[in-house]
A = this chain, B = another copy of it.
Amino acid sequence: MKKFINDPMNVVDETIAGLLKAYPNHLKLVTGSPRSLVRVDAPVKGKVGICTGGGSGHIPVFLGYVGPGLLDGVAVGNVFSSPSSDAMFAATKEVNGGAGVLYLFGNYGGDKMNFEMSAEMAEMANIPVKMSIAADDVASAPRSEKERRRGVAGIFFAYKIAGAKADTRADLDAVKATSDRVIENTCTIGVALTPCIIPAVGKPNFTIGDDEMEVGMGIHGEKGIERTKIKPADEVAAIMADRVVNDLPFKRGDEVAVLVNGLGATPPEELFILNSKFSDILKGQGIKVFRTYVGEYATSMEMAGASLSLLRLDDEMKKLLLAPAFSPFLLQWK
């Protein structure tokens, strides 16, 4: 296991320690809750607080999106494991500025159960809480069963747009409605080339041949929909775009935001090669690209692979997508 780590059991706590030392002006730990972080200026009075959370190992998901114009708080668990409901509730209390709190997270059983428990605790503490659950991975279940779909990189769009909506001082119902609308209009598919190693386990989380790729694999190595020989980038891009476009479906005349996300070890150069083809395909289908984001927005540690997310935009989303936002992972100067 070639990793810059000390004790594998301390990976998450040492990651948080290093993050706080890097960005002391931006993030702070919730007192007494070592896995809960909030904006340094939390709570923002009168603004809906937005909390996310989930397993570690996906930076910048989840810790990386806390900041002005984005999220207010986060709770993280061990690598690929849900945080506790106590950690979620600790963050909730810190980010409630009197307008309630939106839980915005990915659709995984453990996370959902714990956020629901945290919401019950919040209710008893008279903090209004609503939930918005990202389920953008089109490979994880057919569209007819979309409540079973997992949340993956497309949650970035919900973070950005819901964060900007909350900054307008919209109320909790309105922020939730915008977030839900983003989630309903976002579709993602991933392709994995290599596994990653959970430090506490010490071996790859799945096996795949040296000449194979897996379409639709989840960000924890969940089984995808097809394993094939690795294909040229243009063919891979066509397979990915086809799955995503036909799912919503995205149609001629739609305006979209595009996220080409690297899962960890895949270099930006390869993401741009994929984007070149995605761009051509969308243009060919009369789907207009409003903005493109290329980089590592949701990772699986050192997994090699990429995902494509498309969001069908409306006028409000376009405005909110471009609103100012800051987090250590997105905007370095402030």
B-binding residues in A (CB < 8 A): 2-6, 11-12, 14-19, 21-23, 56-57, 59-60, 64, 69, 193-194, 210-211, 213, 230, 232-234, 236-237, 258, 260, 264-277, 279-280, 289, 292-296, 299, 301-302, 304, 306, 322-325, 328-334
Contact = CB atoms under 8 A, between A and B. Distances in A.
Nearest to A258: B22
Given A16-B272, A293-B332, 13 more contacts: A2-B193, A2-B210, A3-B270, A4-B274, A14-B272, A15-B273, A18-B275, A18-B276, A21-B275, A22-B260, A22-B293, A330-B332, A330-B333
A267 B23 contact: no
Rank and list the top 5 A-B pairs by shortest CB-CB distance, nearest first.
Answer: A18-B272, A18-B276, A265-B265, A21-B279, A4-B270
A22 B57 contact: no
B275 A306 contact: no
A265 to B, nearest CB: 4
B232 A57 contact: no
A272 B2 contact: no
B325 A266 contact: no
Q: Taking the full assembly, how many copies of this chain does it contain?
A: 2
Nearest to A304: B2
Contacts of A292: 21-23
Contacts of A330: 331-333
5 contacts: A2-B230, A18-B294, A56-B269, A59-B267, A267-B299
A56 B270 CA distance: 12
B194 A2 contact: yes
Nearest to A299: B267
A301 B234 contact: no
Given A21-B275, A332-B293, A333-B322, A6 B234 contact: yes
Contact of A273 (B2, B11, B276, B329): B11
Contacts of A236: 4
A65 B79 CA distance: 33
A23 B275 CA distance: 11
Given A210-B2, A325-B333, A267 B57 contact: yes
